[in-house]
Amino acid sequence: MEIKEKLRLIKEVGEEIISEEELLELLKKKKCPVAYDGFEPSGRIHIAQGVLRAINVNKLTKAGIKFKFWVADWFAYMNNKMGGDLDKIKVVGKYFIEVWKASGMDMKNVEFLWASDVMNDSDYWLKVINIGRLNTVTRITRCSQIMGRSEKDTLSAAQIFYPCMQCADIFHLKADITQLGMDQRKVNILAREVASKLGYKKPVVISHHMLLGLSKPTNSKATGVERAIELKMSKSNPDSAIFMTDSEKEITRKINKAYCPEKQVEENPILEYCKYIIFEKFKSLEIKRPQKFGGNVKYTSYKKLENDYLTGKLHPADLKNMVANYLNQILIPIREYFEKNKKAKKLKELVESYQVTR
C-alpha cells in the first residue's frame, strides 16, 4: 500500500494527529510501526469501546500498523474498578478480548499484553519514577481525566501514580504511535514532553473521536470531548450508551428516548452513531417511512443524511427508527457469538454476575 493511501486510512481514525509531519516521516522509515492502545477492564463494554474500536483498529492494521493492546488490569485496580477485586478485573479483561473477536477485529496484527506481567520488572518502574521526577504533582494531576476523573475529584495516592505509569507504558512497549481517545490527550502530550529528556523518541499521537453519550447534556457549554468523558465517568447509567449485550428491545427503548433535537446536527449523539458506526458497517442506509411522510429514502453518504436532517427533510423519529434497526443488526452476530462459544459465554455470564462499580 502506498504511503498516501496509508495516510488516508489513518486520518479517517485520527480526529487529531500530533503531528502529521512526524507521522508521514514514520511511515516512510518504518514498514510496520507499533501503535499502543490500553484499556481498563471495568465491567460492561459499550458499542464505542467494542464495535467502534474494532473499526478503528482494522483501518490502522490495514495501513500496516501493528497494535499492542495494554490490558491495564493493575490500572483498573488502582482506579478501584470492580470494587478493587483484581481477579474480577482479569476476567473482565478476557471478556473484552472476546467482544473484539466477536466484533470482527482483525487479530493478525494485534497483540494483547497484560500490565500485571511487568509489575516485577525493575526497568519498568525506573521509567515510572523518572517520569515522576521530571514532573510536579500538579502537572500529573492535570492528567486525571485519563482515569475518567476530574481534577476536582479527591484522588488516592495510588491514582497519582497512574499517569506516570501510563506514560511509561508507551516507552516500555517501544510504541511509535499512541492510538487512544481524545480523553487521553493530556498523558500523550506528557509522553512527548518527557521523551527526549529520558532518551526516547517522541511518539506520534493519533487520537480517535469519542462517541457522545445518549443523554441530554447537563452542561450545554461542554465540548464534545467533555461530554464523551462524562459518558466514560457514568457507566452506572445504563441509558447513557448502547452496550454490547443490549437486546433489541433495550436498543429501541434507549434510542427512542435519546437526545436528538430536530434540525440540530452539532452534539447530536444519534447522528454520531450514524457517522462513526452505522455508515462504517453498512456504507448505505435506508429510511423506511409512509409515503405521506416522504416515503422510503436511501442514503449512500453521511453528508447527505446530515443535510436532510439539518433542513428538516428527515424527522428525528424516522432517524431513530432507522438507527435502532441497524444497531440491532450489528449486534445480532455478536449475541450469537456469545451463545455459541462456550468460553466466551462463560466469561460474559461471570462479568454480568459482578457488581459493576465506577
Is residue 65 over pLDDT 80?
yes
Say if residue 132 is in the same domain as residue 60. Answer: yes
Amino acid at 94: K
148 shares its domain with 292: no
Domain harbouring 33, CATH code: 3.40.50.620
Q: Are residues 120 and 196 in the same domain?
A: yes
pLDDT above 60 (res 241): yes
Write the CATH number for 340. Answer: 1.10.240.10
- pLDDT tens per residue, range 28-62: 999 999 999 999 898 788 999 999 999 999 999 99
Compute the distance between CA of residue 343 and CA of residue 264 in angstroms, rounded to an integer.
44
Q: What local confidence, expressed as pLDDT, does residue 357 receive? A: 45
Do 61 and 109 contact (CB within 8 A), yes or no? yes
pLDDT (tens digit, 9 = 90+) per residue, 105-159? 999 999 999 999 999 999 999 999 999 999 999 898 888 777 666 656 677 888 8
The answer to the question of residue 264 being in a domain is: yes
**Which residue segment(s) compose the domain that 24 sits in?**
3-208
In this structure, the answer to whether residues 178 and 296 fall within a common structural domain is: no
**Residue 178 and residue 40 share a domain:** yes
User: Is residue 201 a part of any domain in this protein?
Assistant: yes
Q: What is the DSSP string of 147-167?
A: GT--TTS---HHHHHHHHHHH
DSSP 93-144: HHHHHHHHHHTT--GGGEEEEEGGGGTT-HHHHHHHHHHHHTS-HHHHHTTG
**181: phi then psi, degrees, rounded to nearest 5:** -75, 165
Q: Could you give the CA distance from residue 185 to residue 205 in angstroms, rounded to a whole number?
A: 8
Same domain, 185 and 277: no
pLDDT given for residue 80 in this prediction: 83
Looking at the structure, do residues 280 and 182 belong to the same domain, yes or no?
A: no
- Please give the biggest Cα pair distance in the chain: 70
**Ramachandran region, residue 43 (left: φ > 0; alpha: ψ -120 to 50; beta: rest):** left
Domains contained in the chain, number: 2
Residue 272: inside a domain:
yes
Residues 204 and 259 occupy one common structural domain = no
Mean pLDDT to the nearest integer, 296-315: 94
Same structural domain, 245 and 109: no
Residue 219 — very low, low, confident or very high, per pLDDT cuts 50/70/90? low
| Pair (118, 73) in one structural domain | yes
200 and 280 together in one domain = no
Strands 204-208, 297-299: parallel, antiparallel or unpaired by DSSP? unpaired
